[in-house]
Amino acid sequence: MSLRALARGSALYTLGTFLPRFGALLLLPVYTMTLGPAAFGVVSLMLSVSTLLSIVYRLGLDGALLRLHFDLSPEARPRLYATLTAITVGVAIGGSVLLGLALAPFFSRLFTGISFLPFGVLTLAITSTTALQYVPTVFYRATERPGRFLAYSGGIMVAAIVASIVFLVIFKLGPVGALLGQLVGGIIGLVIGAAVLLRLRPLRLERGLARSGLAFGLPLVPHSISGWILNVSDRWLLGLLLGLGIAQTQAAIGVYSLGYQLAQTVSLIALSFNAAWGPFFYARGESRAGPALLREMTTVVAALLGALAVGLAVAGPEIIRVIAPPSWGVARDQAADVLRVVALASFIYSIYFMVSSVVFLTRRTALLPLLTVSAGAANVALNLLLIPRIGIMGAAWSTVVGYTILAVGTAIYAARGYPLRLDLARLGILATAGIGVGWLTRTLLPAEPGIGVLAVHVVAIGAFAVLAWLLLRAPVSRLRKLVAATSPPPDVAAVLG
C-alpha cells in the first residue's frame, strides 16, 4: 500500500465510520441559528447522556459481534446475530423503563433544571434506537460490503439532518425539535437493521453464544465508559459544579459544547486516519524498519494535525462568528476560548492514537483500559477542582491534562514492549510553536475580530504551516523509502489495498 493508498483508505473510513459525527458538525450552524446558548446546552447535555447510556446498553456486544462473526461457520452466524441483538433489545427496553422510573422524580435536579418530560423521555428513546445500530454496521463490515455500509451511515445522517431542519426551522420546536431530529435518524437506522436481521436464517437464540458474546464484550465496557468520561462527561459536571442559575448554567454548557465540537475536528480526522493506519502498521510494524516507520509517520501526522489545530485555535473567533449569530453576544468569544484549548487537547489525543497502535501490534492490551480509566479519573478530579474556580475553561484545561496523561502513559507502556523512538526534537518544536502562536494571537490582539486581526491570523497560520512544511521535508522523504522497502507480500497487499 502506497502513501496515496493509505490516504485514500483514511478518507473512506472517514466517510463510513464517522458520518454521524460529521452530521453533528454540519448541524452546528442550524443549532446556533435556531437555538440560544441555553437551549443548545440542553441538547448537548442530553446527547452526552445518550452516548453514555448507549455504551451501557450495548454491553460491549458491538465488539464481540465483529470478533465472533469470524469464529463461526456461515450457518451459525445468523444465530449469533439474533442472540446478541436480543440481548441488546432486552437491555434497551428494560434499562429505559427502569431508568425512567428511577430518575423521573429528581431528573431536573440531576440535569440542571431539565424536565424529564419531554427531554428525559426523548433521551431514552434516542438511546434505545441508536444502541442497535451496531448490528447492520458490523454485518456490512464483516461481509465486506463497503457500499452498503456507507449508504447505511449516510442514510441515518441525512435523515437526522433533514428531520432536525424541519423540526427546528419550520416547526420551531427548539431543543425538543433537535432531539426529535436525532430520534428520527435512530428510527431509520433501527428499521434498516431489522430488515437486515430478518433476512438472515435461521434466527434462533443460543445460550452458549450469549455467554461468549458477554464474556468478550463486558470487559470492554469500562474502557468505553472511560473514553466517555474523557470526551463527554464534562458537560454533565459543568451542570453540577458551576453554581449558577439554571438558565446561566445551561447557557454555559451550550457555549462550551460549541467550542468543543469545533475543536474535535482534529481528533475526528485523527480517528479516521487511525482506522487506515492500523492495518498498514500491523503489516509492517514487526519488521526491522517498523520503529522507523512509526517514528516518521508520527511526525508527519503531528505536523499536519498540528497545522489544523493551530488554524482552528487562531481563527477561532472568525469561525465562531460565522457559525453563531450576533444574538449569542459575548458567548461567541467564550466559545472561541474553549476552541483554542480543546484544539490543543485534540492534538495531544492524536498522538495517543499513534503510540497506542504499538500496544495493539504487540497484543499487550490488558493494561490499556487501566490507562484510560486513570486518565478519566484525573480528568474528573481536575473538573471537580477547576470548574468551581474558573468555570468552563476549567473543563477545557482538564481535557488537556486528561489527554496528556493518556498519551504519555500509553507511550511509556508501549515503549516497554517495543523500540519506540519518536522524533522528540521535531515534535517539541511543533508543539512549542503551536502553543506560542495560539498564545500570542490570543493575548496581543484585540478581542473583537476585524480586517486587521484577520490578516494577522492568516499570517500566523501561514507561518506555522511553513514551519511544519520545512520540518516535514526530511521525514516525508524517509517515509517514502521505508514504505517502498517494507511492502508486504502480494497477497497481503491485495487485502490491505
pLDDT in tens, 443-464: 887 767 788 898 999 999 999 9
The structural domain count of the chain equals 2
Q: Is residue 192 domain-resident?
A: yes
Contact present, 171 and 111 (Cβ < 8 Å):
no
Are residue 259 and residue 407 in the same domain, yes or no?
A: yes
Identify the pLDDT of residue 491: 39
User: The domain containing residue 85 runs over which residues?
Assistant: 60-217
Contact present, 156 and 79 (Cβ < 8 Å):
no
Domain boundary among 217, 244, 267: 217
Q: Is residue 35 domain-resident?
A: no
Are residue 240 and residue 160 in the same domain, yes or no?
A: no
Q: Is residue 331 domain-resident?
A: yes
Q: Is residue 39 domain-resident?
A: no
Per-residue pLDDT reduced to its tens digit, 424-439: 999 999 999 999 999 9
Q: Is residue 301 domain-resident?
A: yes
Q: What is the CB neighbour count within 10 angstroms for residue 249? A: 21
Domain boundary among 183, 200, 217: 217
Q: For the chain, how far is it from start to end, CA to CA, in angstroms?
A: 6
Are residue 197 and residue 346 in the same domain, yes or no?
A: no
Identify the pLDDT of residue 144: 67
User: Which residues lie below 8 Å from residue 205, measured CB to CB, with a gap of 6+?
Assistant: 79, 82, 83, 86
Please identify every stretch of the chain with a pLDDT value under 50, giving residue numbers as ranges: 1, 9, 489-497
Q: Is residue 466 domain-resident?
A: yes
Alpha helix segments (H runs only) across 59-106: 61-69, 77-103
Instruction: Give CA–CA dist 392/380, Å, rounded.
Output: 14
Per-residue pLDDT reduced to its tens digit, 398-416: 999 999 999 999 999 999 9
Dihedral over alpha carbons 370, 374, 380, 383 (to 10 degrees)? -150
Are residue 213 and residue 277 in the same domain, yes or no?
A: no
> Angle at Cα 282 formed by Cα 491 and Cα 293, nearest 5°?
110
SS3 content of the chain, % helix, strand, coil (to 5): 85, 0, 15
Are residue 105 and residue 207 in the same domain, yes or no?
A: yes
Dihedral over alpha carbons 288, 293, 296, 302 (to 10 degrees)? -140
Are residue 200 and residue 228 in the same domain, yes or no?
A: no
Contact present, 328 and 321 (Cβ < 8 Å):
no
Residue whose C-alpha cell reads 453576544 in the numeric block: 329
Are residue 11 and residue 97 in the same domain, yes or no?
A: no
Q: Is residue 32 domain-resident?
A: no
Q: How crowded is the C-beta side of 264, counted as CA atoms within 13 Å?
A: 19
Are residue 72 and residue 6 in the same domain, yes or no?
A: no
Q: Is residue 451 domain-resident?
A: yes
Are residue 289 and residue 174 in the same domain, yes or no?
A: no
Instruction: Give CA–CA dist 339/314, Å, rounded.
Output: 9
> Angle at Cα 451 formed by Cα 450 and Cα 454, nearest 5°?
85
Taking each helix axis as running N to C, give the angle between helix 220-231 and helix 392-415, from 0 to 180 degrees, rounded to the nearest 10: 140
Identify the pLDDT of residue 315: 94
Query: Which grid coordinates are listed for 320?
Result: 465562531
Give kind and range of the element (H or E) at residue 146: helix 146-165
Are residue 363 and residue 437 in the same domain, yes or no?
A: yes
Q: Print burial letters for 288-322: b (CB count within 10 Å at least 16), e (below 16).
A: eebbbbbbbbbbbbbbbbbbbbbbbbbbbbebbbe
User: Which residues lie below 8 Å from residue 391, measured CB to CB, with a gap of 6+?
Assistant: 242, 252
Identify the pLDDT of residue 382: 96
Amino acid at site 364: R
Taking each helix axis as running N to C, give the angle between helix 451-485 and helix 424-443, from 0 to 180 degrees, rounded to the nearest 10: 170
> Angle at Cα 423 formed by Cα 418 and Cα 426, nearest 5°?
160
Are residue 257 and residue 184 in the same domain, yes or no?
A: no
Identify the pLDDT of residue 167: 97
Instruction: Give CA–CA dist 475/299, Å, rounded.
Output: 7
What one-character-per-residue DSSP string does 219-288 give?
THHHHHHHHHHHHTHHHHHHHHHS---HHHHHHHHHHHHHHHHHHTHHHHHHHHHHHHHHHHHHTTTTST
Instruction: Give CA–CA dist 492/60, Å, rounded.
Output: 29
Domain boundary among 217, 250, 269: 217
Are residue 378 and residue 430 in the same domain, yes or no?
A: yes
